[in-house]
Chains A and B, each alone.
Chain A
Amino acid sequence: MFLDKIAKKLLKAGLFDIEVGFENGSVVLRGELDSWEDIVNAGRLAVDTKNSRGVINDIKLKGFEEPPMKMPLLNDDKYEGKKVDVLVIGGGIVGCSILRELSKWNLTSLLVDKEYDVAVNQSSRNDGEIHPGIDLSPDCIKVKYNCRGNRMYPKLSEELGFTLKRTGQYVLYTKPIGSLVWPIIKARAKKNEIAIENVSQKELKKRQPNVSDEIHGATYYPNVYVVSPYEVTIAFAENAVTNGAEIALSTAVIGMEHKDGKIYSVKTNRGTIYPEVVVNAAGVYSDRIAEMAGDRFFTIHPRKGEEMILDKKASALMDTVMGRFDISSSASHTKGGGILITADNNLLLGPNAVETPLREDLSTTPEGIDMVIKKQQTLMPRISKGSIITYFAGVRASTYEEQFVIERSKKVDNFVQAAGIQSPGITAAPAIAEDITKYCIEAIGKNISKNEKFNPIRKPIPKVRELSTEERDKLIKENPDYGVIICRCEEISKGEIIDALNSPLKVPTIDGIKRRVRAGMGRCQGGFCSPQIVKIIADHEGISIDQVAKKQQGSEILVAKNKGE
């Protein structure tokens, strides 16, 4: 009955020859269409959360073949035959926070990720806002995890030593609708106990003088924070490793073997692993992993977002988070994003939202960047294109339901999913991790005791630039390397770089260092310091300088000796 309705909706939208079926409790769409936009539209029209678990959208794009997943060059048997209680697939913030949560229990856990580091995709390609949880329909699972996660962050920041800035957030009115929407927002906020404040145009101008005169006031959310999302992910990962968990980087899952309705083994480029329980935290590939595991009932339709970072001088304009009130923003597919002061004190603009069939397309476009900057200039006219120091893109792992998939599989006994996580994934991750860990322990089915030796504290690498002169002096007297500045723009010392090379999850590459200590993230974008960092890595690791890579294997910086010697 409801399938007929969906079929009718598709026809009405002009999407012909689409077969609508029902498998694994989900609506299945098959056929072929000419445009990706139409395919995404079909997937959206097929959503019926009352009658189905989700949408499996297998409509093919005419003339398009999805490129194979980008694989690491590495091939060895390091993990061949490895037995673990829990195998986590995916080293984003979700996977890493799960791993840390698992390390609170007496069980063995291993996280695999195909990239050269954790937090390489979505988890490093977002603005790092810890959301209030308001711009979503108040009853959905996203809001539940968002609000829980938001409240967990202050304690996590203390334990794991990452920067958490309480910035608050202004949602700005571009039209004089403040008094109209206030009661609705108030009611939503009350339901989830979110602190809010109505800010008049005059008051807003007083607090944020650089906001455009065209803005008619704002709603203010005091309990909004910003973090560096990759710093947080790395912190989770390091603390997990310190507490006995294992992380295998450059390790891609390429298949699974089943026995008795359960996953028996997981094949990787580095050997076959035998886990008791498998956790799917694979981001844009999470529907593929679900398919391998035998319980696919959702589809990831990748949604790219482009963001840009401004020179620190522009940070004088504001020190908070700003977005635009959009009546239709109850769904999470935002367009154009907002302006935010990052944990490291740069202004960040964006992201936009572009549907794409390419899961790993991290390229930026002039149109995207221009669109974002123009949109933000309407909120803050003094923002200029000239102060952009860098930009990047990320791909969101959106499902057609625009909801998180967080559950122990109803079909495959030892499979747990934290899939389809997109914004507000950073906020929600620690709360998701608690539930996923609970599901894992249930799935193991044995009595698992608490890890009494679990140490929640992670000692972060000192940020010398943020210390007082006295503290900094003391630190240098203990280790003179903290006094040798390598990255001049961000004031990063050799000591910090060497700390990163000695950290529990070391990634001895230029970008591995950059993501841990910020060397190369300033206005010169590593022009001055990268040659020095190549030397420091080579010296510390005992390798020759031409073996030092930017990211993964295959991205070595130096390609030949002079004169081809």
Chain B
Amino acid sequence: MEMVCIACPNGCRLNIEKNEDGTLLVTGNKCPKGIVFANEEILAPKRSVCTTVRTTYKKLPVVPVRTDGEIPKEKIFDFVEETKKIVLDRPYAFQESVIENLFGLGINVVCSVDMNRLVGE
């Protein structure tokens, strides 16, 4: 089968075949990330997700957040639902966790901006 690796902007077109032992033979990748991606994408696809959460600051009604790693693809909308519950009422630091250990996945949700700088300026 074919797929496009989304691990980096190269967007390598991967060709995937099954070896006799059940492992995957990946070709078309420019780097080892492609092999990892292909295996994950077939077994359990994962994505990092970015969205916004609300704050109590008028100047900054929403701030961007992202998962600091990849979460299972089917959890994307659960994660979005989760962010609805959050309202930041203090200036979070750059890359400070807004949600820790999301769904017990060992992934944190971090603030993409330095709120102090943005609220202060």
A and B touch in the complex (CB under 8 A): yes
Residue positions of A touching B, CB distance < 8 A: 562-563, 565
Q: Which residue of A lies closest to B54 (CB)?
A: A565
Give A219 Cβ to nearest chain B Cβ, in Å.
60
List A contacts of B80 (CB < 8 A): 563
Bound-state CA distance A562–B54 (Å) is: 9
* 5 residue pairs, one from A and one from B, having the closest CB atoms: A563-B84, A562-B52, A565-B84, A563-B80, A562-B62
Give A562 Cβ to nearest chain B Cβ, in Å.
6
Q: How many of chain B's residues touch chain A, expressed as a range?
A: under 10
Give A281 Cβ to nearest chain B Cβ, in Å.
44
Give A458 Cβ to nearest chain B Cβ, in Å.
35
- Chain A binding surface, main DSSP class: helix
Give A243 Cβ to nearest chain B Cβ, in Å.
39
Give A456 Cβ to nearest chain B Cβ, in Å.
43
Bound-state CA distance A562–B80 (Å) is: 11
Residue positions of B touching A, CB distance < 8 A: 52, 54, 62, 80, 83-84
Give B114 Cβ to nearest chain A Cβ, in Å.
22
Give B107 Cβ to nearest chain A Cβ, in Å.
20
6 A-B residue pairs with Cβ-Cβ distance under 8 Å, sorted by A, are: A562-B62, A563-B80, A563-B83, A563-B84, A565-B54, A565-B84
Bound-state CA distance A552–B62 (Å) is: 28
List B contacts of A563 (CB < 8 A): 80, 83-84
Q: Which residue of A lies closest to B84 (CB)?
A: A563
Give A538 Cβ to nearest chain B Cβ, in Å.
11
List A contacts of B84 (CB < 8 A): 563, 565
Q: Which residue of B lies closest to A563 (CB)?
A: B84
Bound-state CA distance A565–B84 (Å) is: 8
Give B63 Cβ to nearest chain A Cβ, in Å.
12
Bound-state CA distance A565–B61 (Å) is: 13
Give A494 Cβ to nearest chain B Cβ, in Å.
16
Bound-state CA distance A563–B52 (Å) is: 10
List A contacts of B62 (CB < 8 A): 562
List B contacts of A562 (CB < 8 A): 52, 62
Bound-state CA distance A563–B65 (Å) is: 15
Give A539 Cβ to nearest chain B Cβ, in Å.
9
Bound-state CA distance A565–B54 (Å) is: 10
Q: Which residue of B lies closest to A565 (CB)?
A: B84
Bound-state CA distance A562–B61 (Å) is: 11
Bound-state CA distance A61–B102 (Å) is: 66
Give B118 Cβ to nearest chain A Cβ, in Å.
15
Give B109 Cβ to nearest chain A Cβ, in Å.
15
Q: Which residue of A lies closest to B62 (CB)?
A: A562
List B contacts of A565 (CB < 8 A): 54, 84
Bound-state CA distance A563–B54 (Å) is: 11
List A contacts of B54 (CB < 8 A): 565
Give B111 Cβ to nearest chain A Cβ, in Å.
16
Q: Which residue of B lies closest to A539 (CB)?
A: B58
Bound-state CA distance A562–B84 (Å) is: 9
Bound-state CA distance A562–B64 (Å) is: 12
Give A523 Cβ to nearest chain B Cβ, in Å.
29
Give A536 Cβ to nearest chain B Cβ, in Å.
14
Q: Which residue of B lies closest to A561 (CB)?
A: B54
Q: Which residue of B lies closest to A545 (CB)?
A: B61
Bound-state CA distance A67–B54 (Å) is: 45
Bound-state CA distance A565–B52 (Å) is: 12
Bound-state CA distance A562–B81 (Å) is: 11
Bound-state CA distance A562–B55 (Å) is: 13
Bound-state CA distance A565–B62 (Å) is: 13
Q: Which residue of A lies closest to B52 (CB)?
A: A562
Bound-state CA distance A565–B83 (Å) is: 11
Give A545 Cβ to nearest chain B Cβ, in Å.
9
Bound-state CA distance A563–B77 (Å) is: 11
Bound-state CA distance A565–B80 (Å) is: 12
Bound-state CA distance A563–B80 (Å) is: 8
Give B85 Cβ to nearest chain A Cβ, in Å.
10
Bound-state CA distance A562–B62 (Å) is: 10
Bound-state CA distance A563–B78 (Å) is: 12
Bound-state CA distance A140–B78 (Å) is: 74
List A contacts of B52 (CB < 8 A): 562
Bound-state CA distance A563–B84 (Å) is: 7
Give A543 Cβ to nearest chain B Cβ, in Å.
14
Bound-state CA distance A562–B86 (Å) is: 13
Bound-state CA distance A386–B4 (Å) is: 36
Give A517 Cβ to nearest chain B Cβ, in Å.
24
Give B51 Cβ to nearest chain A Cβ, in Å.
8
Bound-state CA distance A562–B83 (Å) is: 11
Bound-state CA distance A474–B111 (Å) is: 43
Q: Which residue of B lies closest to A562 (CB)?
A: B52
Bound-state CA distance A565–B51 (Å) is: 14
Bound-state CA distance A562–B87 (Å) is: 13
List A contacts of B83 (CB < 8 A): 563
